[in-house]
């Protein structure tokens, strides 16, 4: 894949994730200004979550991993780390949306995911620890949590919007990047929000990138998803423009 093709793919995935999250659409009719995204009953949201975030389970189901998994599936990835209703004849497995990306071979095998363990042994985990100086790039998947706490979240990176006050991105003390998020309202009984687009402040500290109290623990570079694809969607400029036009 040429650098130009990769740039186009990044634009495409950003447009796809932004549409799935609702862009700047009002969250609901008559909502206060600035409240944007999609609710849990929005048909686009329901499609991306494959109908799993049902009202009866709103306070027990987190949909954040459905977007990361959904992006990979949309790009044609069918590898054993996919956790979707139609994946490998096993269907969807609870609690595996995030960890399928960064689980180790021994852990995966011990939990009965032998195809995943074999894949990891041969190809390595899809998720990697962010390399030193990593700068967020559109289409990469991010995984954050506070060390020692059970508050993991995943999202899709969009454009990098600002480098803080530094002129060199790799050394900037603070970055601002678009992130596209499912599970936006957490596990609550409320319909809103289900998904939204956020301009996230990211601090660069000595030991990595931090989103408040949560550290960027892993990324899945878009290049990995593209390499693992068994058939990419059409990603022409016309297709990207059409997708961009779906939401304000």
| Per-residue pLDDT reduced to its tens digit, 167-211 | 455 555 689 999 999 999 888 899 999 999 999 999 999 899 999
Read off the pLDDT of each residue in 209-238 and give the average, rounded to a whole number.
98
Contacts 24+ apart (CB under 8 A), 198-201: 199/161, 200/176, 201/174, 201/175, 201/176
The number of residues making up the chain comes to: 248
**pLDDT tens digits, 46-76:** 999 999 999 999 999 999 999 999 999 999 9
Check the CA dihedral 40-44-45-48 and report its sign: positive
pLDDT surpasses 50 at 129: yes
Percent of the chain with pLDDT over 90: 89
Mean pLDDT of 28-54: 96
Q: Which residues contact 203 (CB under 8 A, 6 or more apart)?
A: 173, 174, 175, 209, 210
With cut-offs at 50, 70 and 90, classify the pLDDT of residue 91: confident
Q: What is the pLDDT of residue 166?
A: 47
Confidence of residue 162 (pLDDT cuts 50, 70, 90): confident
Amino acid 173: pLDDT: 66
- Over the stretch 203-216, which tens digit does the pLDDT of each residue have? 999 899 999 999 99
- Continuous H helices in 124-169: none
Helix (H) or strand (E) holding 11: helix 3-21
Higher pLDDT, 162 or 50: 50
pTM (two decimals): 0.95
Q: Using the predicted structure, report yes or no on whether residue 121 has a pLDDT greater than 60.
A: yes
DSSP string, 31-65: PPTT-BSB-TT-HHHHHHTTT-S-GGGTTT---HH
pLDDT at 170 (0 to 100) = 55
Model confidence at 155, pLDDT cuts 50, 70, 90, reads very high
Look at 90 and 103; give whichever has higher pLDDT. Answer: 103
């Amino acid at each position: 894949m040429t650098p130009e093709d990769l740039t186009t793919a990044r634009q495409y995935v950003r447009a796809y994730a932004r549409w799935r999250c609702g862009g700047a659409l009002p969250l609901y009719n008559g909502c206060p200004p600035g409240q944007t995204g999609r609710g849990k009953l929005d048909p686009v949201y329901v499609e991306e979550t494959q109908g799993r975030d049902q009202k009866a389970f709103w306070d027990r189901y987190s949909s954040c991993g459905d977007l990361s998994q959904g992006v990979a599936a949309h790009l044609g990835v069918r590898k054993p780390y996919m956790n979707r209703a139609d994946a490998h004849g096993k269907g969807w497995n609870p609690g595996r949306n995030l960890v399928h990306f960064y689980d180790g071979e021994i852990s995966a095998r011990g939990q009965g995911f032998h195809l995943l363990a074999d894949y990891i042994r041969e190809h390595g985990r899809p998720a990697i620890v962010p390399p030193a100086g990593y700068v967020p790039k559109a289409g990469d998947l991010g995984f954050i949590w506070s060390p020692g706490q059970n508050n993991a979240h995943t999202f899709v990176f969009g454009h990098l919007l600002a480098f803080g006050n530094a002129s060199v991105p790799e050394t900037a003390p603070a970055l601002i990047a678009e992130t596209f998020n499912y599970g936006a309202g957490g596990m609550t009984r409320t319909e809103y929000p289900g998904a939204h687009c956020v301009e996230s402040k990211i601090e660069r500290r000595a030991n990595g990138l931090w989103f408040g109290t949560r550290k960027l623990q892993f990324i899945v570079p878009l290049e990995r998803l593209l390499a693992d694809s068994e058939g990419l969607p059409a990603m022409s400029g016309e297709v990207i423009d059409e997708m961009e036009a779906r939401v304000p």
